[in-house]
Amino acid sequence: MQKIQIQNINWIDIVDPGKKDIEDLRKNFNFHPLVLNELLVPTLRPKVEHYDYYLYMVLHFPIYHPKEKTSKSVEVDFLITSNTLITVRHGKIQPLQEFWQKCEKGINQPYIQNSTASLLYCLISELNNFCLRQIDHITQKIDKIEKQIFEEKMVKKEEEIVEEISVIRRDILNFRRALKPQNIILESLKLRGVDFFGKSTEPYFSDIIGDHMRVWEMLENHKETIESLQEANDSLLSNRINRIIKILTIFTVIVFPILALSNIFSMSAPLYLPFSQGSLLVMGGMLIGSLIILLIFKQKKWL
């Protein structure tokens, strides 16, 4: 548990809460026992609840893991009173730690007014901005995939391109899974926040919803883009396969007269000599048959 004071506002941050942390919160703030018990374990669903003198909110934010090449949802619990903001989290969250360090240095004090609503707004805005920065790596991967699909100079193995597309789609899916349930929660936060803090704080909560929607719209755009690229890549792969099948079919048809004539005359006794008159006639018939098929294919524009 660590604590910092910004003007007249207290911010308490708890990482991996234990029984001692929960007991300190119970003694100093008299939070509801059910709320305190929920802080000990991660909560699957985001929510916001209004109690007598505080708000309890659970939000999830996606954090990218480079080793696993995907984003995973991390939880932040908020307990908000009139003069204290308490954040509870399991594990390290980079944007929250960065914001804490800025507050220690006094960088954010001009933007934080004498209200926990303003501190909450600045903190969630920092988390949303971090989400935007993380979306940048998806943008770069999509641009790279587009070049690999359409530029011949950057041709890669088809299996690698398909795998990369699948990885990006999984990352976007996990990103969406973390953010989508919070659309309704943030709307509820606006209603409950205005009732709790007063009408003057409504712009804070409106901006939080606006930042969230901006992240969501970018994510939706990337989802549509990667799906379109996958369809384009599938079409190109299908065309390549069709060309290969076409070439193999043409080769089979051209060779067919040769095989047919060789089978017909294979039992003829005079033809066993390699350069006899009969063998030359058979070979000539094979070549003429193949040339006739080639001319037919040219006339039909199949070649």
pLDDT surpasses 50 at 64? yes
Question: What does DSSP assign to residue 112?
Answer: -
Does any domain span residue 291?
no
Does any domain span residue 205?
yes
What CATH number has the domain bearing residue 13?
3.30.460.20
Does any domain span residue 16?
yes
Would you call 152 exposed, middle or buried from its count of C-beta atoms within 10 A (0-12, 13-18, 19+)?
A: exposed
Does any domain span residue 301?
no
Does any domain span residue 245?
no
118-127, 227-236, 245-254, range with the lowest pLDDT: 245-254
Please give the residue that has the higher pLDDT: either 19 or 256. Answer: 19
How far from the centroid of its chain's Cα atoms is residue 79's Cα?
Answer: 30
Strand partners, 72: 63
Which of 87-101, 150-164, 217-231 shows the highest mean pLDDT? Answer: 217-231
% of residues, the chain, pLDDT over 70: 83
pLDDT digits (tens, 9 = 90+) for 200-233: 888 888 888 888 899 999 999 999 999 888 888 8
User: Residue 110: its pLDDT value, please?
Assistant: 59
User: Residue 297: its pLDDT value, please?
Assistant: 65
Q: Are 79 and 35 in contact (CB under 8 A)?
A: yes
Tokens of 221: 């755009």
User: Residue 78: its pLDDT value, please?
Assistant: 92
Its domain, for residue 192, covers: 2-239
Q: What's the domain count of the chain?
A: 1
pLDDT digits (tens, 9 = 90+) for 259-281: 766 665 564 545 444 555 555 66
Does any domain span residue 56?
yes
Alpha helices in 90-157 (DSSP H): 94-105, 116-150
